[in-house]
Amino acid sequence: ALPKPSRDDLRRIIEVCKGQRLTFRIVPGVADLLEGRLDVTRLREVDINDLLGREPITLDMEGIGHFLAGKVVLVEQAENNLFYIDRELREAHPGLGVVPVIADVGDRVRLEAVFRSCRPAVIFHAAAHKHVPMMEINPGEAIKNNVFGTKNVADMACRYQAEACVLISTDKAVNPTSVMGCTKRIAGMYCQCLARQPAGAGTKFVVVRFGNVLGSAGSVVPIFREQIARGGPVTVTHPEMRRYFMTIPESTQLVIQAGVLGKSGEIMLLDMGEPVKIVDLARDMITLSGFRPDIDIKIEYQGLRPGEKLFEELRTSAEDILPTPHKKIFVWQSGYCAMEDMQAGLKRLEAVLDGAPFAEIYKVLQSIVPEYQPPAQPPSPHAPYEPSPSA
């Protein structure tokens, strides 16, 4: 019943109450109660975001306004999400003309028709295959979507003179050990190449790199929540596996801010705070649900899957990391790949998209990203797939 409980306050209270089979709720603020805006029956559940969230983000609203206001903005995601955002916009703004546009980033003809018709000024390129174990057994599809899909979007941004194209990247692109991470690294390299070409001079290409987003589709939180609702077990790959996490509001706001601050060809890093042990996250979620970890709900370890790391790398303090005017956003001073080398690499990738042996695909990926470390033993493409919630 604290008016504005901090993360540390909440964690201390929950630690004291662990093992008591209690569920946790937050009472509305006294001001809201007195003014009749809320009643005590509307107690809010304590969410995992309350324990992992950090201080509120301070944004340069003037800069963001100049970046976005009055412009056509293209955000790439998925058909199901488009259905929901279309419905939400129609309900919130009945007089607004909303036209949902379905397109696949792999369909260059359709993509060009969309750009020609809508002329987006700012693009947030979030379309990607992101699940590490799944992409390990479908490497050709990861390349098609993450590399060539990005190439299609970036090429159209140049051709139709978009002002900015912001590529959403990942910490898994740093010294990648997975096909997913390597393909995202190549996508970022291609955008950097375009930024140095005369054809790309009118478009700002910015790559934004960060870790996992709490509660996003396919992320660990909804998977753990589903496992807890079934009575367990909650599955974790390894007791020492750690990941960086951000909340959805924090990540979206910082992505937009990074798009404002970034110069063309730069890779922006978001401050992810301290990495979190996945098993600690699981224990917290079990406790918040009113159960006792390892007693009411079991935790089982499955072992690392191909392509997974125990620790992801996302440095924000090193010689090649520079600060920006925003304390949570940094610039990585990376080397550039020559466009001639990139084009040659893409041709090699095209040759191994469909049906090539995994070892051959790995060899081509390594020729473009030398720091890529493929598995010593490629997974069987016909092995049963078991999703890993910590990926």
Among all residues, which ones are annotated catalytic? 172
Between β-strands 245-246 and 212-213, what pairing exists: parallel, antiparallel or unpaired? Answer: parallel
Report d(CA 11, CA 33) in Å as an integer.
Answer: 25
DSSP, collapsed to helix, strand or coil, labels residue 261 as helix
Report d(CA 212, CA 344) in Å as an integer.
Answer: 32
When computed from its CA atoms, the radius of gyration of the chain, rounded to whole angstroms, is 22
Terminal-to-terminal C-alpha distance of the chain:
36
Q: Is 371 left (phi over 0), alpha (psi -120 to 50) or beta?
A: alpha
| Nearest in space to 283 (alpha carbons), one of 352, 234, 241, 329 | 234
Q: What is the chain's length?
A: 391
Burial class of 103 by CB neighbour count within 10 A (0 to 12, 13 to 18, 19+): buried
| Nearest in space to 136 (alpha carbons), one of 345, 364, 351, 361 | 361
CA atoms within 13 A on the CB side of 168: 20
